[in-house]
Amino acid sequence: MEDITTFEMLPDEMILFVCKHLRCAEILYSFFNLNSRLNSTITDYCHYVNLRDVTYKQFNFVATQIIPRIGLSIRSFVFNGKWENIMFEELNSKFFHLKLSLMFPQLHVLSLMNFSDIQLNLFLDKITDLFQLVTLDIRNLRGEHSLEFLEKILVSNNNRLNSILFDYDSTSFILNTTKNNEIVPYSNIEELIVNLKTDKMLDYLFTLIPYIKRLHIDFDQLSSDSKSILANVSTLIHLKDFQLRSISQDWSLDEIAYILNKMPYLQRLALNLYTEDVNLINGQNFIRILPSSIVEIHLFILYFFIKPNIEIDTLLSTWPTHIQIKYLLNKLYKYAVIHTIPCDLSSIMIPAKIANYMLVGSEYTRKVKDLKIFDKQFRAAPNLECLRISLSCLNIALNNISTCELLQKRIIDLEISCVPEIDLIQLDTIAQKFYHLRDLSLSLESPTVFIDSLILKVLSLWKDKNLRGLYIKGLLTDEMNNNLRQWFINHSHLRQEDSFIVEYKTNWFSMCCNYHYSFIDSKDFYYSVKYNNLLNRSELLYTDLVTIKNSMSILWFFLLISCCYAAEKLSSYNVDPSETSVSGLSSGAFFATQIQVAFSASIKGAGIVAGGPYNCGGQISYTSCMYTSSPSITQSISNTKSWSGNKIDDIKNLATHKVYMISGTSDTTVGGSVMTQLYKYYVTDGQFIPSANVVFKKDLKSAHTFPTDFDSTGNNACGSTGSPYISNCGFDGAEAILQHIYGSLKPRNNGVLSGKFIEFNQEEFITNARTNGMSTTGWIYVPKSCADGATCKLHITYHGCLQGYEKVGDKFVKNTGYNRWADTNNIIVLYPQAVATNTISMGGGASLPNPNGCWDWVGWYGTDFSVKSGKQSTATKKMIDRITSSFNPIDAPTSLQVLATTDNSVTLAWEPVSSATGYNLYRNGGKANNGIITGTTFTDNNLNSGTTYIYTVKAVSSAGSESAASNSVTGKTTGTPPAVETPNGLIATNITSNSITLKWNSVSSVTSYNVYRNGNKLTSVSATLYTDIGLSSATNYQYQVSSVKDSSESEKSIEVQATTLTEKVCFKDNNYNHVITRRAYNNFGYAMATGSNQNMGLYNTFLTTTLCKTRENYYVIE
């Protein structure tokens, strides 16, 4: 027997243990295709890729051979400007031919390192149509940064970015003065970290980002008229987190006050400043300028005092006790650092004399990521590995034995700046001392010095060492520049067969070599750790002298600390389990019916769009349950009854369910005849659900699609069947479903949602998720109110075939409209995700693939697919149980009783509920009170005489949620009954700019109803629903209704008031004129609607678009 000795036969656990000593690039290069188990692990779980520290050969292989194969799972990627010649070289690179959006469809975070402004300007054109990309992290950006450049960054990825972050090593932006009425605001930007040249640019910046929530700014200089400039900047009403770092200019209390005055709802303030104004460090003065909303304050202020005998202790006593202030004093140089404890700034600048004291007390600065120290400071460097230093300072270090010993042990990346002459570089000493060096960078001050001989000397000195990268700024001779690679082959030890790449651009020579090297473990530098989640770097900057960086060790690859992304664990919320419902489209609709029937005790209703009878695919060929067929439901009904209370919950639960069914007139995939059989299963033949509880909408002129009443980027036309199967059909399917199940809804949120989309781990709910047709992750939308603990409802919606996240991205999660209603009605929306599988063994020895990622409604993953034990069904129920496990219900009131009655009133009382903040009283099912009842008695007035009413009461919690209903009581008013009973339960709903829809409860035996507007009779109707049209926008109206029987009319109902929305004004014009009039803006040749950022097509005079203004500076395509 052959001995198994190869490394790849080791258990995965042993191989993965090796990973704790490796970087991401090394793991990909070493283990991809090593065995199928590791391939699967990398493909499915390694969502973060950083190829920064890698040799040319390793990079070229990973970038061209591995990345295209795992790109679908990558969530975060680091691009390095020095890779441009490899990444986008036309002849050899796949990156040149493929769009980034096709390679990385799930990319969330993109980090761009070491780009020049020219490189970045070109690269931004490639960042388009990445539907998941929301964060752009730019580091060490070089070159001049203008207004136009910043705007191009803000609109990147088709205005989908909401976070743009520049590190402090990137040079500052110089924004031209522009009139505010000429500025196009970027409403998509919620987070920005940026460096500005001067305070004169603040006004422009604040106008540019009106919806910013987190803003960190670094200033180079203050202007002489700073106070007048700061006093006139725009107000940022959405800003919650503001940080200002400016150590090179003297700031006054007034200047800070002017800025804070423009941030009325600020919650977190962080300042790292230089000042000579004693008022700024006087606590009593400082707290007067703070917004009342402030929660956190973090200060690190360098105070230079003019008076020699300044009493710092006296100043500290002026601060309130809840703001803990300390100081570090240097009397000799007349300055002190005043700082809060803790001082949770991400970046601070301090003098070295102070730093010497602070390094022993890490609790001062536990969250500092970027630290600049003025003056010499090498004491903290023994375990750091990246050193950026001027030549003069390096020579000092090389000539100091103890300092040199500290630095030489770990430095692997050395960047030497400010080189006046080549002869001053101690190359021999550097090669001898820095024996672990892998990257060397030399920047010459003179632009006219030739560097040919310098390059050859470096190659000679490092011939037998592991130098990976060489970067030198200077001039090349024509002979060398004309044929770089051949020149090296002719003049150095390098040969044609050697793997290396050379390049010369913008006076920078670059060489990447394929030397193998031993990985050097690094240790954490706990004082100034710069946790850079994308780059895994730590750095300590020494202004003008030295920059030292520290790489944090990668502890464990598959613990997902740095290399891999881990979806969140599904959380539990205060969700009422009795308020759970389901819906779905196509296969998701079939599956929703299965969940509804199998777990009927846990589900209260369902929305079925293009679905079919329960268990249909388990009895006959699934194609007989589709198209225009009429599948038999006899076995479906029989199975439902025989499985009741065993394989499925007791079917008696279905009697209280509410179902909303939608079938498009042009749907040939799951046609109306299939949906009719489902209706018969529910109502006429199965008689499981009363007809009054089921709505069957079959007049919608739509194809096989989910209907909405708004446009979303990438959606298909309503009359066509195509990806992503979501269409503007002028009908809000999500509203219809949710309102039928839950009753009246508050108006939906058409703006920025309050809550969060969370990607969660589905694997804890089902073993071998992908094998059983479920993705490793799913999505959930949690409104802010639900995250904050309000009692909420749960709606689960299942996508159709070819509609899961792996097929259409987040379109089903974000474009169907459910979240808009959920946000205002305390509904959590769960979006489980199915995936495609190849050949699946089925019952009877048959096999059938599921290549379209459908939900299992035919038995792909087991014959029990439609009952409680089905794999996907069980997973769904586990998710429901997890989400609802933190339900904390409020008790229902007890002992409701009638105390007294009159001809037109009933007085009631009940026992108090200790945790209730109020109560709602319900008469004949409709709420009788307008405002919350604060006591435990209530008199219901304006009733009909001699009429019987049924009452219940519900307790209301502090979060606004209601308890279950109390016992019901009957109250009858005295006197003679009216000839006709007055309608009750009148409400206004579906309010638009020119219409209001009214609903009320029916009155038995009446022939019609009269509708009154503002006291005047409007019309007579026979139904209990009426839409009043032709109204004025933004106008309040009062409505009442009355009942009519024969020739008698009842009293008018209780009045309700409603205000129409602001009128939607539409403009039909060519795209050029839309841009000129600011209804749209030009985005690289495309016209984009202002506010909504919808793509209108090419920016020219030939394309005509109708834009409608729905609110100020907000236009949508009609």
The catalytic residues are 586, 667, 704
**CA 993 from centroid of its chain's CA atoms:** 31
Where do the H-state alpha helices sit in 434-506? 452-461, 478-482, 484-491
Q: How far apart are CA 32 and CA 36, in angstroms?
A: 9
Radius of gyration of the chain (CA): 35
**CA 1004 from centroid of its chain's CA atoms:** 51
Q: How far apart are CA 1061 and CA 50, in angstroms?
A: 50
Q: How far apart are CA 523 and CA 383, in angstroms?
A: 6
Longest alpha-carbon distance in the chain = 116
Q: What is the DSSP letter of 22?
A: S
Do the Cβ atoms of 815 and 729 come closer than 8 Å?
Answer: no
What phi and psi, each to the nearest 5 degrees, are found at residue 106? -110, 20
Angle at 670 between CA 637 and CA 585, to 5 degrees: 85
Query: Token pair of 615, please?
Result: 């268990």
Where do the H-state alpha helices sit in 863-944? 871-884
In 904-1015 the beta strands, taken as DSSP E runs, fall at 906-909, 918-923, 926-927, 937-940, 948-956, 969-972, 987-989, 995-999, 1008-1013
In 975-1079 the beta strands, taken as DSSP E runs, fall at 987-989, 995-999, 1008-1013, 1016-1021, 1025-1029, 1036-1045, 1048-1049, 1056-1059, 1065-1070
Paired with 553 in beta bridges are: none
Query: Token pair of 522, please?
Result: 């690094």
Task: Measure CA of the first residue to CA of the last residue in the chain; give whole Å.
Answer: 74
Burial of 916 (0-12, 13-18, 19+ CB in 10 A): buried
Q: How far apart are CA 1091 and CA 456, in angstroms?
A: 57
Q: How far apart are CA 827 and CA 792, in angstroms?
A: 5
C-alpha distances out from residue 416 to 425, 427, 429, 836, Å:
9, 11, 14, 53
| Close Cβ partners of 938 (under 8 Å, ≥ 6 residues apart) | 907, 908, 919, 921, 928, 929
DSSP string, 372-386: EEES---TT-TT--E
What phi and psi, each to the nearest 5 degrees, are found at residue 325? -115, 135
Where do the H-state alpha helices sit in 980-1093? 1071-1076
To which H or E segment does residue 138 belong? Answer: strand 135-139
Pairing verdict, β 1048-1049 and 546-551: unpaired
Pairing verdict, β 347-351 and 335-340: unpaired
| Close Cβ partners of 179 (under 8 Å, ≥ 6 residues apart) | none
Q: How far apart are CA 1118 and CA 1115, in angstroms?
A: 9
Paired with 198 in beta bridges are: 221
DSSP string, 442-461: EEES-TT-B-HHHHHHHHHH
Paired with 505 in beta bridges are: 508
Residue 546's nearest CA partner among 408, 434, 368, 381 is: 381
Query: Token pair of 731, please?
Result: 């009908």
Query: Token pair of 339, please?
Result: 């700082």
- Owner of token pair 């020699």: 308
Paired with 949 in beta bridges are: 971
